[in-house]
Amino acid sequence: MKTANFIFLTLLTYLLGISSLAASPKEIAKISGKVADQKGQPIPYANVALISVYGGLIDGAVSDENGIFLIESTKTAKVNLVVSSIGYKTFTSEPFDLAPGLEKNFGDLSIQDEMTGLDEVTVKASRPEIIIEADKTIVNVEGTVMAEGANALDVIGRSPGIFVDSEGNINLNGRTGATVMINDRPTYMSSTDLANFLRSMPADNIKSIEVINNPSARFDAEGAAGVINIQLKKNTVDGVFGNIQVGGQYNGQFAPNAGATLNVKKGKLSTNGTFNYNEFAVYNDLEINRNFTLDQGVSSFKQDSRITSRYKTPSFNGSANYEIGKDQNLGLNVQASSSSDVNNNTSGTVITNPGQAENNFIESLNESDGKRNRLFTNLHYDAKLDTLGTKLSADLDFTIMDTESSALLDNRYWTGAHQSSGTRDRLRTLNDMYYTIFTSKVDLVKPLKGGKVLETGLKGSWVKSDNDLNLSRAQEEGPFELDPNSNRFIYNENVLAAYVTLKGNFNPKLSYQAGLRGEYSDIIGNSVTLNQVNTQEYFNLFPSVFIQHKVSKNYQVVYNANRRITRPNYRLLNPFIYYIDPLTSEQGNPHLTPQYSTNFEMNHVVKGAYQFTLGYSVTEDAFMQVFEQNQEERTTTTFTENFDRTKNANFRAILPFEIKKWWNTSNMVQANYNQFKTQIGQDFLDVDQISYMMRTQQNFTLPKGFKMEVVGMYLSPQIWGQGQIKGFGWVDAGVTKSLMKDKLSLSVNGTDLFRTQVIRAKIDFADIDTGFRQYRSNQGVRFTLRYNFAKGESFRVKSNSGSTDERNRLD
């Protein structure tokens, strides 16, 4: 590993050295002009952008104090110049051909006052504008009905190809394990903590959602399901800009939430901070029916449980950016959260045995609580090295996270009506985990001849986790004694990576991007209690290719392909045993290896709005949850195993329509073909199925400041590993009222209006015969009261970039 670190530092020094190379000045297109009002007065800080006639941002700038702007670009495209500023109507030029070497001066551009005033200038579109680029789809959320009264998890769940299940797990194009980022920075959270964090983030603070199905080599290779990048609002005011909101949700339990955002700029220093407090309360009604085949006949277990949970998540996200010079910026980002949860699981089980007249009964009470503290810091530097567009950026990230949880499982057993003569046992669990993650990376963007752009970079990450699991048992009222399944597990992971991508154009209608990423991994898992050490060391290459063909003004096709890796969650590698109840346990697997997926996609885009997408992926050593039953002891154990291979083919159609000026609809239909193959114990699993998902979103802009949204969702029956899930659907609706010239808004949303989001599943494989029915109190009502305040002139806050690996693996 010392040799690998030395090589990494050598390459880093080399990369910094080549950044001084520059391309010829003739390769730069220069678009200039001056923005002024109708009276000829300059308009400072206006947004000036080159927008492709086929959709998508090409390049942009902000006018200076005198209204003067200059856009330098190395790209080739047919574009419009678009100028916008708060309080003025948007100006759009005639189309022109952008190419390296072009010099075009628009002179004085006069834009008209927006007579309706500032509050009406903030366009409240009924549905989000979707921009399709070669490597991602951008959903513009800002100013839409979609954002009002919703949270970040809601908005993600309504983006193209994304489905969020009732537990907050994010599925992208039929695949789990999507990587979630905020302003290009990692979240470093488990799936449960991430869901609660996103629930606490108001959608009104979001500018756009970037859905990246097949990420390029610039992104970390981690995450087989792609990347979802949340871009927060960047336009604010010189002085003070912000908002305050309060709200709550009732679904049988009341859960409040509140938040505040403040942005301040003075001179070269721009700062912003957001504090949110969110409670999420849920109850889960769960029915499980298990049949065990014995020599004497079938033994049946019928278990009814109610799990009541409450999560409290206060969080802070703050950043500062200082303009060192005209072409240099230094930024700092701090994310901090301290979440806690309390869970109460009450279950009763009736056991029917062959040849036994009286039933056996088990009554269990599992009470648990946990707390997680997380601190993430990012130090960012970026510089423009020359007038040709050569850019260098560097990031240092440091994350610490500690979790502690305790649980007491109290079980009582009896036969027939003889409850008083039954027996009792107790199991106490103490689980402490501590993580440290350090990452560093550097990226270089280099314009080349002929309008090509070279991107290259290096990254290193060093992860350490320490998990101490203590189990103790007690019989009847006796003392607790240490259980032999207690275990301490220490995990170390070092990953060094390098990448290179090349962007260019074959011709004005055909562009490409090709990249290659290499990652070296060195992993050590040490079970201290078992005196067992597992090591893994491997090097992998991850290629990616994107081709964008603009067939005509109203039709384009985007092709992309890549290879990805997903490493196991740190906790899953710990050979622990965690008891959910006396019949069910979860077990870790120290022999888990990474899964690799190869992905292909072809996206047809018509009129910049209608999408028809074909996708295909093959995953080797895929992670899947496996259920095993012990017929003699009549217990069930779940663990994560590497499947030999899974396949997914999908077709997705996105169809937005404007029915009336006040009524828009966005519709999505997605069909999936899933295949699972693997050996489980002595049996071979080979199953496949075609399933589909439909979503319709109806948006209404009504008189007197009212807006309404109705969302309907349906998922057909589907298979998932050993399991078969029945079809289900639900309907959500919401209404928003604007007050005080849009400074104040009140939103009321109803979820699962008809109480139909019920999940039914069955496992009928080998000797397993188990059925589930679950409802997670999804039916409820949520309200949000939000107040916006602003003072000062428009400006743009820089968006720093942190590393993008190791996230979502803390579960």
Please tell me the predicted confidence (pLDDT) of residue 123. Answer: 30
pLDDT (tens digit, 9 = 90+) per residue, 86-108? 667 788 888 888 888 888 999 88
Contacts of the segment 121-129: beta carbons below 8 A, 24+ positions apart? 121/86, 121/87, 121/88, 122/742, 124/701, 124/707, 126/662, 126/663, 126/664, 126/699, 126/700, 126/701, 126/707, 127/656, 127/664, 127/665, 127/666, 127/697, 127/699, 128/666
Sequential DSSP letters for 21-81: ----GGG-EEEEEEEE-TTS-B-TT-EEEEEETTSSEEEEEE--TTSEEEEEE---EEEEE
d(CA 618, CA 481): 47
Going through 716-767 in order, the beta strands assigned E by DSSP cover 718-720, 723-725, 728-739, 744-751, 759-765
What gap in Å lies between CA 287 and CA 763, rounded to an integer? 14
Nearby residues of 488 by Cβ (< 8 Å), 6 or more positions away: 466, 467, 468, 469, 527, 528, 529
Q: Which residues of the chain have pLDDT under 70?
A: 1-27, 54-56, 86-87, 113-130, 132-134, 142-149, 166, 173-175, 177, 186, 188, 190, 224, 234-239, 790-811
| Helix, strand, coil share of the chain (percent; to 5) | 5, 65, 25
Whose CA is closest to 221, among 4, 496, 5, 463? 496
Distance CA 301, CA 631 (A): 12
Residue 461 identity: S
E strands, 418-571, where?
423-447, 453-475, 481-482, 487-507, 510-527, 532-552, 555-566
**What pLDDT shows up at residue 455?**
94
Q: Cα separation of 140 and 131, whole Å?
A: 8
pLDDT at 72: 85
Closest residue by Cα to residue 281 from 340, 336, 335: 340
> Which 8-state DSSP code applies to residue 282?
E
Q: Specify whether the CB–CB gap between 502 and 467 falls below 8 A.
A: no
| Residues 6 or more apart whose Cβ sits within 8 Å of residue 610 | 653, 654, 655, 656
Query: Using one digit for the tens of pLDDT, what is the confidence trace for 602-622?
Result: 999 888 778 899 999 999 999
3-class secondary structure per residue, 216-257? CCCCCCECCCCEEEEEECCEEEEEEEEEEEEEEEECCCEEEE
Q: Which of 543, 651, 619 is nearest to 215 (CA)?
A: 543
Cα(596)–Cα(619) distance, rounded to whole angstroms? Answer: 5
305: its two tokens = 């449980």
d(CA 793, CA 238): 5
Alpha carbon of residue 506 to chain centroid? 34
Query: What is the distance between the alpha carbons of residues 457 and 513, in angstroms, rounded to a whole number?
Result: 16
Instruction: Supply the pLDDT for residue 5.
Output: 55
Half-sphere exposure of 162 (CA within 13 A, CB side): 28
User: Would you put residue 153 in left (φ > 0), alpha (ψ -120 to 50) or beta?
Assistant: alpha
d(CA 63, CA 111): 13
455 Cβ neighbours under 8 A, 6+ residues apart: 218, 443, 444, 445, 446, 499, 500, 501, 502, 503, 515
Cα–Cα dist 264/580, whole Å: 48
* Amino acid residing at 158: R
**Which residues fall within 8 angstroms of residue 155, CB to CB, at 6 or more apart?**
139, 141, 146, 147, 203, 206, 209
Helix, strand, or coil (residue 449): helix
- C-alpha distances out from residue 293 to 359, 509, 763, 770, Å: 17, 65, 15, 12
pLDDT of residue 797: 38
Q: Would you state the pLDDT for residue 149?
A: 64
Alpha carbon of 227 to those of 132, 172, 184, 205, 334: distances in Å? Answer: 15, 9, 10, 20, 22
Q: Is the dihedral of CA 19, 24, 544, 548 positive or negative?
A: positive
pLDDT at 14: 45
Contact (Cβ atoms closer than 8 angstroms) between residue 433 and residue 480: no
Burial class (CB in 10 A: 0-12, 13-18, 19+), 707: buried
Nearest of 572, 581, 180, 523 to residue 347 by alpha carbon = 581
Angular region, 704: left φ>0, alpha ψ -120 to 50, beta rest:
left
Closest CA relative to residue 77, chosen from 390, 451, 447, 387: 451
pLDDT of residue 147: 64
